[in-house]
Amino acid sequence: MKNTKALLEQFDTLTSSLTNKNMVTAFSLLGFEGYDETDFASFKLWGDYLPIADEHPYTETQHNLHVLWEALDRSPLSINVDFAIPLREMIAKRLFKKCGVGFVANEGCRFNYGHLIEVGDNVTWNHCCYIDAKGGVSFDDFSMITEYTKIFSHGHSESDHMERSYAPVKIGKYVKIYTACTVLPGVTMGDGAVAATGSIVTKSVPEKTLVAGIPAKPVRDRKTEGKQYHELNHYTLKDKAFQVEKGE
The answer to whether 48 touches 66, Cβ cutoff 8 Å, is no
Q: What 3 state SS string does 132-162 have?
A: ECCCCEEECCCCEECCCCEECCEEECCCCCC
Dihedral sign computed on CA atoms, order 10, 11, 17, 19? positive
Residues in contact with 220: Cβ distance below 8 Å, sequence separation at least 6, in sequence order: 209, 210
DSSP H helical ranges for 2-79: 4-15, 20-29, 37-42, 60-72
Contacts for 157 with CB less than 8 Å, ≥ 6 apart: 163, 164, 165
Largest CA distance in the chain: 58
Strand partners, 200: 182
Asked if the bond preceding 215 is cis, omega within 30° of 0, the reply is: yes
Active site residue 161: no
Q: Which of 66, 127, 154, 156 is catalytic?
A: 156
Catalytic residues: 156
